[in-house]
Amino acid sequence: MNEARIGFVGVGRMGANMARRLRDQGYPVTAVYDHHPASAAELAAELGCAAFTSLPEVTAAADVIFTVVTDDQAMLEIFKPDASLLIGAAGKVFINCATVSPAVHEAVETAAKAAGASTLAASMASSITQARQGTLYLMVGGEADVFAKQETLLKSISSSLRHVGPVGNAAKIKALVNMVMNINTAGLAEGLGLGAALGLDLAVLKEIFAQTGANSRVLETDGDDMITREHDCYFSAAHAAKDSGIANALATAAGIQVPLSLATEARYQKMIDLGLGGLDKSGIAELTFPGRNEKL
């Protein structure tokens, strides 16, 4: 029996499925919280745990707290000095899974240390299905001894687990992973869109892409969806814009030019401007295929 009590802050589709997976693995999930209380209440009823409406209650009810929030502002909000997860946090462990900027992960680590708590940044290069199946790809930053103590727990939700050094490294690597993924997605949408405009057989074109230098993981995951316009959301265009923005800010700070990434961010921002930010990232094909979007 796993004894560490587990809490979750942020129970959207990723957080909720991670909680379900850990419950299935025998971990006592004792506390959930979300800024949409109804979401937390629904999951709590399913898991048989408590849904709290204040962050200090989560900290009191759990030993290890996973946070899966949306952005820098949300992360800073749950770790602010007053009425946050840091109240009564001595001895607790926070595993922060959101894709946020490295500076925010580092600031949270500093604040948690001051409160007597430990942190890990567990960046995820996976989607909703992998969260439920326990096959996440996790890049974990933080102190080596903290990672070692939580390694068994993290293996319960992952098929690939890597410790990548200090807490900020996980966020940096995740930003680069998503930067390249987003560029590949935008490039594939342009290639298939141009193929459609030229009257080519897209099934044949996709097969040829797969056998040549045009091949990519994105071709496998998103190619058919782009052609058939199936854009059910696994990783939204809005998140793609945010994550490319994080990478581009890192590039600016490092003095590195990344014109492809800047253009990709602009394309995903275009989707947001058109009201398409809630589509899956494959929805960028709506900007490139002929006749699809009259607003363009």
In a shared domain, residues 198 and 154: no
Q: Does any domain span residue 296?
A: no
Structure confidence by residue, pLDDT tens digits, 256-294: 999 999 999 999 999 999 999 999 999 999 999 999 976
Report pTM. 0.89
Residue 296 pLDDT > 60, yes or no?
A: no
Longest distance between any two alpha carbons in the chain, whole Å: 64
Cα–Cα dist 285/237, whole Å:
11
**Enclosing domain of residue 65:** 6-165
Determine what percent of the chain is predicted with pLDDT higher than 90.
93
Q: Specify if 40 maps to a domain.
A: yes
What letter would DSSP give residue 283? G
pLDDT of 294:
61
Strands 136-141 and 118-124: antiparallel
Q: How many domains does the chain have?
A: 2
Do 21 and 128 share a domain, yes or no?
Answer: yes
Residue 172: both structure tokens together: 């940096």
45 within domain boundaries:
yes
Same domain, residue pair 113 and 28: yes
Residue 1, in any domain of the structure: no
The answer on pLDDT for 125 being more than 90 is no
| Residue 292 lies inside a defined structural domain of this protein | no
The residue whose two tokens read 């430990």 is 118
Length of the chain: 296
Q: Nearest 5 degrees, angle CA 136-CA 214-CA 230?
A: 60
- Claim to verify: residue 150 and residue 11 sit in the same structural domain: yes
Question: Which two three-digit tokens encode residue 97?
Answer: 């899974």
pLDDT at 290: 95
Do 129 and 253 have their domain in common?
A: no
Compute the mean pLDDT over every residue in the chain, rounded to the nearest whole number: 95
